[in-house]
Structure 1
Amino acid sequence: KLAAADLPQNIAPATRVQLRDAIDHSFVVGFRAVMFAGALLATGGAICAWWLIKAEADVKTDSEL
């Protein structure tokens, strides 16, 4: 619940705004990093699958000759 963190009431309003912006920014940056990592893993998985399927197709072609 980082994005929903409660800030102390005795903080100045300008400081509260800055803290809220910092919390929101850190949440967005973390989300983007996780999404980027997921995209890299998905791309890597797709490349591996393509390579393995291609290698299997090449083996079948060679054995048919």
Structure 2
Amino acid sequence: MAQKDFLKDELQKEIEDRVKILEDPSYDYGPLLNKNDVIAMFIVAVISGLGLVWGLF
């Protein structure tokens, strides 16, 4: 039981540390999605869907 409590405490501490990082005003979320990203996601989704249908038959 002590090991389980230790792991929970460590997990909670890690979550709190990461939340602090994300809430920092200077945190960089990275670039936003652009047109090319959306096109690539659509192509991957279509290919995945075709592969799924092809696998059914």
TM-score range, shorter chain: 0.3 to 0.5
Q: TM-score, normalised by structure 2?
A: 0.44
| Bigger Cα Rg | 1
Q: TM-score, normalised by structure 1?
A: 0.39
